[in-house]
Amino acid sequence: MNVVVFASRKGGSGKSTLVAHLGSYMAANARPTLLIDADPQGSLALWQRVRGAQDLPLHVGTKHLAATLAKARRAGAEWVLIDTPPSAEAPVAEAIWHADLVVIPMRPGLFDVDAVQATIQLCRELKKPYAVVINAAPAKNGSEDPMVADARGAMQTLEIPTWGGQITHRPELSLFLAHGAGVNEFSVGSAGSEEIGSLWRALTRSFEAIEAMTGKQPQSA
Ligand SMILES: Nc1ncnc2c1ncn2[C@@H]1O[C@H](COP(=O)(O)OP(=O)(O)OP(=O)(O)O)[C@@H](O)[C@H]1O
Ligand SMILES: [Mg+2]
């Protein structure tokens, strides 16, 4: 079972958005997935209520996380996606403590690049693998937008592992969430859907790499 925690001290970086779209993608690909909304703002829980489907079980809150994960494992979950609040405080630290991998969504901007440091510090203290995912990026126009290239350069200088792809800023990513859906459900084969699929494949590869290092059994995509 792959436990992925989405964390960033920076509000609005895209934690809940990525969890919802990835969750929907996993459900569509018949990968048993548990969502955990560990953010009192309850964005993910709201999305799931609007969705109204049974394909993505949801646990709300940070209490009894260990027991919730143990139950999910027994029930055959392959993926657990945990959405967290925009902080680097105790509930986030607890979620990260349970993570196999921490995804840190980051918009490409100076303040955003600066704000990821606190979360990375936490991952390093807890010795957890992590990767930055550039989100809400300007669309590629042949090559990567200079803002994205700058952000990537900063990550490289700071030796912060960063996904080579990007999730582009697309209004439909917000729109579909308002309908309780993921981009793959409303817009099959679209560029947005391809990007979410590509992120999922990258996560799967990361787990294969983690398995090679630790002996943990990965789930195939
Ligand atoms: N790639 C994207 N394209 C378009 N809109 C996006 C994208 N990513 C996020 N958004 C929008 O940006 C806003 C913030 O995103 P989201 O709520 O996912 O961030 P968050 O990190 O969960 O925020 P918080 O820290 O407050 O929980 C939302 O309105 C969301 O729809
Ligand atoms: Mg959120």
- Tens of pLDDT, residue by residue over 55-82, are 999 999 988 899 999 999 999 999 999 9
Ligand 1 pocket, Cβ-based, cut-off 6 angstroms: 11-17, 39, 41, 43, 86, 135-136, 167, 169-171, 173-174, 177
| pLDDT level of residue 216 (50, 70, 90 thresholds) | low
Which residues make beta-bridge pairs with 60?
Answer: 37
- Residue appearing with tokens 């993910």: 44
Give the three-class secondary structure for 128.
coil
Instruction: Round to whole Å and give the CA distance between 69 and 59.
Output: 10
Cross-strand partners of 143: 141
Q: Kindly report the protein residue whose alpha carbon is nearest to atom 31 of ligand 1.
A: 174
Q: Ligand 1, atom 14: nearest CA belongs to which residue?
A: 12
3-state secondary structure 14-59: CHHHHHHHHHHHHHHCCCCEEEEECCCCCHHHHHHHHHCCCCCCEE
d(CA 199, CA 71): 27
Determine the average pLDDT of the residues in 24-29.
93
3-state secondary structure of 110: helix
Q: Quote the CA–CA distance of 77 and 92 in Å, as a whole number.
A: 22
Calpha distance 51→99 (Å, rounded) = 26
User: For residue 135, which atom of ligand 1 is closest to its CA?
Assistant: 1
Give the nearest ligand 1 atom to 41 CA.
27
Nearest CA to ligand 1 atom 16: 14
Report all structural domains of the chain as residue ranges with CATH numbers, in order of start.
Answer: 2-214 (3.40.50.300)
Residue 137 CA: which ligand is closest? Answer: 1
| Angle at the Cα of 104 from the Cα atoms of 155 and 27, rounded to 5 degrees | 135
- In the sheet that holds 58-60, the strands lie side by side as 58-60, 33-37, 79-83, 2-6, 101-106, 130-137, 167-168
Whether residue 40 contacts residue 16, with contact meaning beta carbons closer than 8 Å, is answered with: no
Distance CA 112, CA 12 (A): 10
Could you read off the pLDDT of 84-99 as tens digits, one per residue?
999 878 889 999 999 9
Per-residue confidence (pLDDT) for residue 214, from 0 to 100:
77
The more confidently predicted of residues 39 and 87 is 39
What does the pLDDT read at residue 221?
Answer: 42
pLDDT per residue over 130-187, tens digit each? 999 999 999 999 899 999 999 999 999 999 999 999 999 999 999 999 999 999 998 8
pLDDT at 220 over 50: no
